[in-house]
């Protein structure tokens, strides 16, 4: 009986030691992950500070003024470009209104096109074989072939074979 109780306590101590070891390993792994996240957060904050500094530099009014003078062809608005409302612009018929054009206006607008409709009847008899010499009989033979093609679609297999045999005779 004492051996059974002693064996039970030894088993319980081993299970407790394994559980404590597992908890220790899990805790260390979570602490390592937490340290990695903290490092990544600090790096992101530093990157955000750099981006704020770049944004402040790029949005300086003096710099933007120089760039606009260098790359844009802007002029002060003149009196003939002014309008009191939009309807007055559309009702004018003379050439006093000049529309401003941008480089984007020179490119065509690409819009999706409608899907073409396939018409099977149009292409059903589009191919005619030139097996006969160009005589007066050729159109008659071609008409006969078209008629036989129309009839072969409605006939069975044996009827089509018999029709071909009759054509060969």
Q: List pLDDT tens digits, range 46-77.
A: 999 999 999 999 999 999 988 888 888 777 77
Query: Can you give the residue range of the structural domain that contains 29?
Result: 2-68
Structure tokens that stand for 5 in this block: 């109780």
Average pLDDT value for the chain: 76
Last residue in a domain, options 31, 47, 68: 68
Tell me which of 24, 43, 68 is where a domain ends.
Answer: 68
Residue 142 covered by a domain: yes
Number of domains in the chain: 2
Q: Indicate whether 95 belongs to any domain.
A: no
What 3-state DSSP class applies to 81?
Answer: helix
CA dihedral 52, 57, 62, 64 (to 10 degrees): -80
- What angle, 0 to 180 degrees and rounded to 10, lies between the N-to-C axes of helices 137-152 and 157-168? 160
- What is the mean pLDDT of the segment spanning 4-31? 96
* pLDDT band for position 152 (cuts 50, 70, 90): very low
| E-strand stretches of 15-145 | none
Domain limit, last residue, from 36, 68, 100: 68
Dihedral sign for Cα atoms in the order 153, 159, 165, 169 = negative
The span from the CA of 107 to the CA of 100, in Å, is 15
Grade residue 124 by pLDDT with cuts at 50, 70 and 90: low
Helix/strand number for the chain, H first, E second = 6, 0
pTM here is 0.37
Name the nearest CA neighbour of 149 among 118, 128, 122: 128
Q: Is residue 146 part of a domain?
A: yes
In a domain, 114, yes or no: no
């Amino acid at each position: 009986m004492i051996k059974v109780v002693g064996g039970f306590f030894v088993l319980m101590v081993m299970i407790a030691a394994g559980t404590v070891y597992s908890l220790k390993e899990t805790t260390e792994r979570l602490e390592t992950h937490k340290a990695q996240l903290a490092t990544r957060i600090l790096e992101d904050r530093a990157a955000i500070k750099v981006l704020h500094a770049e944004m402040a530099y790029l949005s300086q009014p003096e710099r933007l003024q120089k760039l606009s003078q260098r790359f844009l062809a802007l002029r002060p608005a003149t009196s003939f470009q002014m309008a009191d409302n939009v309807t007055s612009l559309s009702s004018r018929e003379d050439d006093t209104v000049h529309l401003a054009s941008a480089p984007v206006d020179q490119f065509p607008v690409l819009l999706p096109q409608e899907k073409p409709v396939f018409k099977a009847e149009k292409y059903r008899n589009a191919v005619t074989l030139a097996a006969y010499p160009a005589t007066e009989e050729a159109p008659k033979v071609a008409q006969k072939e078209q008629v036989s093609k129309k009839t072969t679609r409605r006939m069975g297999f044996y009827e089509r074979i018999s029709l071909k045999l009759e054509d060969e005779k």
